[in-house]
Structure 1
Amino acid sequence: MTLKTPAGKPRFRSLGVDLPGRPGPLNAITDVPGVAVGYTTLVSGESVRTGVTAILPRPHETVAHPCAAGWYSLNGNGEMTGTTWLTETGALSLPVLITNTHAVGPCHRGVIDWVAANKPDGAHEWLLPVIAETWDGYLNDINAPTVQPAHAMAAIEAAATGAIEEGSVGGGTGMNCYGFKGGSGTASRLVSHGPQEYTVGAFVQANFGSRRELTIAGSPVGALLADDNPLEEWAVAQAGAGSVIVVLATDAPLLPGQCTALTRRVPLGLARTGTSGSHFSGDVFLAFSTANEGALTSGFPAESGGFETLRFVPWGLMDSFYEAVVQAVEEAVLNALTANETMTGREGHRTPHLPRERLVGLLRR
């Protein structure tokens, strides 16, 4: 299991603190075979602190093959496009992108442009990409037209399997979490099901929570780390605002409704880190299963007289998968916090990083 990111940034387990469950070899969403993650990170001058994250459910060459999928909104003060079609069909067949609130449009266009250029057969009728967002306007000039369709296309092209970077990268570049520097984080858990072993991976864009709420490995440390909190001094009336997007992936064969059931367990993992869910935080979650490839097609026009078959885990045996979601989401948030340094951005706004050595001392106490 990797204790550092590819760039050498520390991950939470490098602090010597144990968490429950069995992580995959990378402890990342990319432990799910075929799942790839790519970033476009945009940092320049004093006011550009943003980017795009692309998550591909399948490799580039088979990216259009549908996956069973479901979604859930804990709080709707946020955006995840394409969810009405997900509800209708239970299928996901395009890259999922995460960015900042005002860059949803360019990223939506970027996915369409990428498909038209690379998978033209998939662009003959209509495309309804899934684009999600969180707000980075404290550190980034969110109203500037920084993110363009080409940046979304670049993130898709950069998507790769294996160990992935965390912290202030991609869509998470300008994000904050519990008053500390937040952003992109990931983790995974292995689940035994009879003789089979499956993986549940989580990816978070963490931009939520008030400092006083922060709980780590069961210890309420937020109040003990209350100093140096310029974000909440700036937005005292909306402490805890910002949003969180979580994408879950698994290779376990699941129905679309079971994917939705996984997303409903995401808030339990977030709650382990302390949040009570701010009204000003858009908390929206997506889950997909890479099993049953070749099913859940929705061709146009549809062939008459055909049938499709789904193999799935019995509902009564889903508990171990729910547990994996809760554990992976908690650790993904902690990885996003740990793999970070202090950032200064728009108008001199500064967000401190999680004081790792101080935290370890508190946890040992």
Structure 2
Amino acid sequence: MRARDLPLTLDGRHGRHNAITDVPGVEVGYVTLTEADARTGVTAILPRGRQKVGLPCAAGTHSLNGNGEMTGVTWIEESGALSLPVMITNTHAVGTVHRGVIDWVAARHPGLAAQWLLPVVAETWDGYLNDINGPHVRPEHAAQAIEAAATGPVAEGNVGGGTGMNCYSYKGGSGTASRLVGHGPDTYTVGVFAQANFGSRHELTVAGHRVGPSLLDDDPMSTTDWFAPSGAGSVIVVVATDAPLLPGQCKALARRVPMGLARTGTTGSHFSGDIFLAFSTANEGALTSGFTVDDDYQSLRFVPWGRMDPFYTAVVQAVEEAVLNALTGAEEMIGRNGHRSPALPIGRLIELLAQDGAGAGSR
């Protein structure tokens, strides 16, 4: 199930798969690990696919709350460019996945690896369900996720880096959505991928309907003997577009992510690392910064700043739906020490939406 299967209205016009892979060239791959006490995995997002790793995209980042990690962001801030896969995993596997990306690039693109590599690896904390200190994620899993990356429909919920994650004290994880944006004679796509692991149950809001206060029962995370306060976790969001943008405009897209998250109810927890990255696949061949650059000058074609508003709107809409898709796509999971994360109760949610007058034309 996805959010659009519910009796509610979500704003905007989505692409074919309603996924980040609606942006041409973008690929997503997963490795999911659920053996023994492992409830974790690795997600790979390839901006231009495997064959064009190393070819830069304009990019920018934004941190709403820094209680988390996304490696490689200082170089993105410096150069305005992203040239490697974006990886997402659990908090204690960042170094392992970082090493795995380097190993994969060295094997598949040795010329690129001969210079320097600053992989982008982001994380959210899955220690409620996952044996997070165990050596479950290995470097080869990063390579496997990259090799598994593909276009087309994207699995959601308990997959990849989102395998052991929780959202609003329900099972969360991986979610995605897209929006189409008209610009002059052209139509561009804005795609979003979220690893959703944030929010307190009472905050949960679905398409403008505050349902959390009516769903406070069956919340094991509020009663289980563990240390994290309500709302802890983190959220990583990756925004992709084929619209031609400057690095600063990509950063502006990343800054709009919190507005989409807020539509789902969160106020942003101190114990949540909320870090976002946006990139544009347009202007292929620009923003190179290797030791040998043939051109004396490079050019970037970009949307005028004064016409960016529809792209901001698309980000907010797609982020909201990606989080809801993570929730509706996830299934109940039992993890380490018998910890249980219940799935969003779809039947009860539909009843609440009906009571609140949800349906066509409502918001």
TM-score (norm 1): 0.96
Q: Out of 197, 200, 208, which is 2:190 matched to?
A: 200
**In the alignment, what sits opposite 2:52?**
62
**Structure 2 residue 128 is the aligned partner of structure 1 residue 138:** yes
**Structure 2 residue 223 is the aligned partner of structure 1 residue 243:** no
Q: How does 1:4-83 map to 2 (within 5 A)?
A: 10-45=1-36, 47-83=37-73
8 Å Cα contact 2:193-2:322 kept in structure 1:
yes
In 2, Cα distance between the equivalents of 1:134 and 1:265? 20
**In the alignment, what sits opposite 1:296?**
287
Provide the secondary structure at the position in 1 that maps to 2:154: coil
8 Å Cα contact 2:7-2:353 kept in structure 1:
no
In 2, Cα distance between the equivalents of 1:186 and 1:172? 12
**Structure 2 residue 197 is the aligned partner of structure 1 residue 178:** no
In 2, Cα distance between the equivalents of 1:350 and 1:103? 22
Quote the offset at 1:182 in angstroms: 0.2
Q: Deviations over 1:305-328 (max 9, x none)?
A: 710000000000000000000000
**Structure 2 residue 129 is the aligned partner of structure 1 residue 147:** no
Q: Out of 85, 110, 119, which is 2:109 matched to?
A: 119
In 2, Cα distance between the equivalents of 1:25 and 1:302? 37
**In the alignment, what sits opposite 1:93?**
83
Q: Deviations over 1:87-142 (max 9, x none)?
A: 00000000000000000001000110110000111011210000000000000000
Number of residue-to-residue matches in the alignment: 354
Quote the offset at 1:233 in angstroms: 2.1
**In the alignment, what sits opposite 1:347?**
337
Quote the offset at 1:60 in angstroms: 1.1
Q: Out of 237, 240, 243, which is 1:252 matched to?
A: 243
Provide the secondary structure at the position in 2 that maps to 1:227: coil
The code of the aligned residue for 2:272 comes to S
In 1, Cα distance between the equivalents of 2:222 and 2:181? 39
Q: Deviations over 1:132-170 (max 9, x none)?
A: 000000000000011010000000000000001000000
**In the alignment, what sits opposite 2:156?**
166
**In the alignment, what sits opposite 1:84?**
74
TM-score (norm 2): 0.96
8 Å Cα contact 2:176-2:322 kept in structure 1:
yes
Worse overlay, 339-348 or 242-251: 339-348
The code of the aligned residue for 2:289 comes to S
In 1, Cα distance between the equivalents of 2:133 and 2:302? 45
Provide the secondary structure at the position in 2 that maps to 1:184: strand
In 2, Cα distance between the equivalents of 1:106 and 1:274? 33
Q: Out of 341, 350, 354, which is 1:360 matched to?
A: 350
Quote the offset at 1:301 in angstroms: 4.6
Provide the secondary structure at the position in 2 that maps to 1:360: helix
Q: Which stretches in structure 1 are left out of the alignment for 5+ residues?
A: 1-9
- What RMSD, in angstroms, separates the aligned Cα atoms of the two structures? 1.0
The code of the aligned residue for 1:89 comes to S
Provide the secondary structure at the position in 2 that maps to 1:48: coil
**In the alignment, what sits opposite 1:5?**
none
**In the alignment, what sits opposite 1:287?**
278
Q: Deviations over 1:262-287 (max 9, x none)?
A: 00000000000000000000000000
- What percentage of aligned pairs have identical amino acids? 71
8 Å Cα contact 2:198-2:231 kept in structure 1:
yes
Provide the secondary structure at the position in 2 that maps to 1:253: coil
- Note closer, same or farther for the CA distance 1:237–1:159 as it changes in structure 2 (3 Å cut): closer
